[in-house]
Amino acid sequence: MIKNIKLSALSFKLLILLFITSIAFISCVPNRLNKDKFIIAGTYLEVVSPAKDAATIVHQEFKRLTAIFDSYNETSELSRLNKTYNTPFVVSKEMIEVLSLSAQVNKTTKGAFDVSAGVLFDFWKKLIAEGTIDKLPDEALIAQLKEKTGMQYIKIDPAKSEVTITKQGLKIDLGGIAKGYMVDKAIQKLRAAGISDALVNAGGDIFCLGANHHRAWKIGIQEPGVVGEVVSMQDLSDEAVATSGDYEQYFEFKSKRYSHIVDPRSGYPVDTDSISMTIITQNCTTADSFATAFFVMGTEDIREFLNQNQTTLRIFVLTEGPKGKRIQILQ
């Protein structure tokens, strides 16, 4: 099902349908909830729950998983794996799980999601961070970088808990999936501890566990670029939500706007009229990875994906063109 709604400047603020670019939760009974905030590995982590020990459980799990997935830490498991070539490297069950899930998403999205493209992503991050881009890199340079990518060069052996990188110079980048996975693992820990109600928010990747005092968690949706302007609310229970977009990070070249998100298939930043892509589904790993993949794919390819796959995904696409902002709701 696809719905298209054109938005004027006034009706945009009054929109009752859901779109998400940044997410803030709103509690119905704040005095009875414990709210804790942390910064871990550069990620803003927030835990809300009537259970006093929920935040400690989530924080400890995030610290444990950060030692595996933090690419900025030279001693993390991911960093050490990325330094290997053609040598089996023993990894944790979590790394096996995330890489296996990444391979599945890569196949399902026909390469729009690709954790093997770390060298390519790093190149564009550095270029964009340097400031004004007066010339796009030529195709020969991009082709050289793409030579160091490819999911087929990441060999996963679950039986031996080993991963082998078979392309020299390939770098794994789990930025589009690890955070959502960490949220899901934290939720598992809460459930194992007998905690049935909590909201975990890791930099906008959110899971709403159970209820907020017998009512669904209310997620407030903020208008892009307007702090505190909530345009819609969504009730969520045992569901996750994640957003990918260029509303905060992008660059302009010859009066044309380019996303900071790179299409691993072309090697260049996504050229799209989409501002954000939001996924609501049953787990945060899926929401996180598909939000990135779908932003890369664009609405036409998403339509084709939905025609070929049965999913529980709810997809909210915000685009901006000559006629203003438009929301497309696909499911």
Give domain limits for the chain. 2-330
> Percent of the chain beyond pLDDT 90?
63
Scanning the chain, the segments in alpha helix (DSSP H) are 9-13, 54-69, 77-82, 93-108, 118-129, 139-146, 178-192, 284-297, 299-308
Mean pLDDT of 309-318: 88
> Mind listing the pLDDT tens digit for each residue in 120-130?
999 998 887 77
> Mind listing the pLDDT tens digit for each residue in 225-271?
556 655 456 789 999 999 887 655 556 665 555 667 899 999 998 87
Euclidean distance between CA atoms 252 and 331, whole angstroms: 32
Residue 158 has pLDDT above 70, yes or no: yes
Mean pLDDT of 92-118: 98
Residue 25 has pLDDT above 80, yes or no: no
| DSSP for residue 28 | S
Residue 5 has pLDDT above 60, yes or no: no
CATH topology of domain 2-330: T-fold (3.10.520)
Residue 28 has pLDDT above 70, yes or no: no
Mean pLDDT of 305-329: 82
Q: 216 pLDDT band (50/70/90 cuts)?
A: very high
Supply the pTM of this predicted model.
0.88
Mean pLDDT of the chain: 85
Sign (positive/negative) of CA torsion 226, 228, 231, 232?
Answer: positive
Query: E strands, 181-229, where?
Result: 198-202, 205-209, 217-222
> Mind listing the pLDDT tens digit for each residue in 78-102?
999 999 999 999 999 999 999 999 9
Q: What is the pLDDT of residue 226?
A: 53
